[in-house]
Amino acid sequence: MASTNHDQARIRDYLLGHLSDDEQQKIEERLMTEDALFDELEVSKGELIEEYCANELAQSERQWFRENYLASDEGRQRHALALALDSLKRSRPAPQPLPWFERLRALFKTQPWAVAAATSTALVMIVAGLFIYNRTAATPPASYAFNLNSTVSHRSTGGAQYPQVPLSPETGELRITLQLPEDVTDRNSYRVTLDDRRQITSFEETSHDRNSVLVVVPTKSLREGLYSLKLYAIKDDGTEQPIPGEYKFELVSTSRPSAPANPQQSGSQH
Partner 1 sequence: MNKGGPTQEDFAKLLRWLDPDRDKAGEQYEKIRLRLVRIFSSRGCCEADELADQSINVVISKIDWLTENYVGNPALYFYAVAKKIYLGSRKPKPLPVVPPPDPHSPEVEQLSVYLDECLDELTRAERDLVLQYHECEKQEKIRNRKRLAEELKISRNALRIKVCHIHSRLKKCIDLRLRASLG
- Binding site residues, partner 1, CB under 8 A: 1, 3, 14-15, 25, 28-29, 31-33, 38-39, 41-43, 45-47, 50, 54, 56, 66-81, 83-89, 92-95, 97, 193, 198-204, 237-240
Please say which residue, 41 or 178, places its beta carbon nearer to partner 1.
41
Please say which residue, 92 or 135, places its beta carbon nearer to partner 1.
92
CB of 201 to partner 1, least distance (A): 5
Q: Which residues pair with 195 in a beta bridge?
A: 200, 228
CB of 158 to partner 1, least distance (A): 20
From the centroid of its chain, how far is CA 132? 31
Please say which residue, 56 or 268, places its beta carbon nearer to partner 1.
56
CB of 111 to partner 1, least distance (A): 27
Please say which residue, 35 or 121, places its beta carbon nearer to partner 1.
35
Q: How far apart are CA 191 and CA 197, in angstroms?
A: 19
CA angle 43, 48, 51 (to 5 degrees): 130
CB of 163 to partner 1, least distance (A): 23
Q: How many other CB atoms are found less than 10 A from the CB of residue 175?
A: 17
Q: How far apart are CA 172 and CA 142, in angstroms?
A: 5
Q: Are 159 and 130 in contact (CB under 8 A)?
A: no
